[in-house]
A and B are shown apart, each in its own frame.
Chain A
């Protein structure tokens, strides 16, 4: 059971010694798959993969091409680009979720995977949070203050909202600007969660799910 519960990370890197190091660092806490090029990465990819670490510069398919192919296949893992040069936040609007600059150290690598996973749990909690807030707002609009005070449903919703708020704050303790931009991008795309609501961006960007 423990094995199956571990999130799965796919490491795509053309330098074999680096693959070995990353796999060892991640292996304690995650199920690790590895690929030495883009073609092999796409073979290893399925709905179980939660996070992809993608070397940007590889012989054959580039990281950008692999990213496009992942999106085309309808999978939605979080993808961190591994790069030699520190990029701008603009990579987030290109579809990457995060980046790591080489040389990558152990702490940074594990921390990045954790952060990408916590973004998913944040999005899940947030969906319930919105549903509760919306329901409570409807009650507030329909009932008087006196009615609300005696409404069991209202009291329960408020308790639940407070609890979810606390859990959401804990979900991403150190939300950085990169997390923020990527999460807003996901909200506009209507991906990652709540896609059935059709809350995609107004700019008609492809929803590709």
Chain B
């Protein structure tokens, strides 16, 4: 099976199960492109979004505006430190800091388990916005290893991963190191113009 994505590029993109995409671009354009990938859930698919800068309540708004049923299909790991309440029943795992990578993995595991118990845990679109923030809290090697294990978990589970990075915030070597982990990359040249390259997807 594949994860079907409309609206990222001019054509329909189908990502292979288990693949992970890196979205590079400015903060807001990168986030919008990541949401373009996450908001196309169909069938039994669900979304787990890990947010490092914006609180869970903002994230709920993004998905609401995009017509996603946030009552049963969305789970959020909020590492922003925000405590703004979210609608009742929407699962949120809150962390004290974006530097708490163990807490982040634990939050993801709990949300995935929750979806599993509800019978829809095997097709999750996982988003992390953004890797640039993680790089402010931990060194490149630690972030690299974290992302590598995370994408391995995504591959093993047949999930879809979408991670954003703002290249302008880091040196070339760091960007090239992080880039190596992912199957594909969507480079947002400017709002609405996305170059997609790599493997693990087809376009039609």
Q: Give me the interface of A with B, judged by CB distance under 8 Å.
A: 89-90, 92-93, 126, 129-130, 133-134, 136-138, 140-141, 161, 168-169, 172-181, 183-185, 187-188, 194, 197, 199, 201-203
Contacts and interface: CB of A to CB of B under 8 A. Distances in A.
A141 B99 contact: no
Nearest to A168: B152
A175 B180 contact: no
A-B complex: 6 closest residue pairs judged by Cβ atoms: A137-B176, A177-B109, A141-B172, A184-B105, A175-B156, A180-B153
Given A172-B156, A187-B142, A201-B101, A181 B106 contact: yes
Interface residues of B, number: 39
Contacts of B99: 201-203
A126 B102 contact: no
Given A130-B145, A202-B99, A180 B176 contact: no
B173 interface: yes
Interface string B127-160: 0000000000111111011101110110111000
Contacts of A185: 102, 105
B156 A174 contact: yes
A90 B106 contact: yes
Interface of B: 97, 99-102, 104-106, 108-110, 112-113, 137-142, 144-146, 148-150, 152-153, 155-157, 171-174, 176-177, 179-181
Contacts of A175: 152-153, 156-157
B139 A199 contact: yes
A188 B110 contact: no
Nearest to A177: B109
A134 B177 contact: yes
Given A129-B148, A201-B142, 11 more contacts: A134-B141, A134-B173, A141-B171, A172-B156, A180-B108, A180-B150, A181-B102, A184-B105, A201-B102, A202-B97, A202-B138
B155 A169 contact: yes
Contacts of A180: 105, 108-109, 149-150, 152-153
Nearest to B111: A177
B117 to A, nearest CB: 12
Contacts of B113: 89, 177
Q: In this complex, which of B149, B152, B155 has the most chain A Cβ atoms within 10 angstroms of its Cβ? A: B149
A65 to B, nearest CB: 23
A89 B146 contact: no
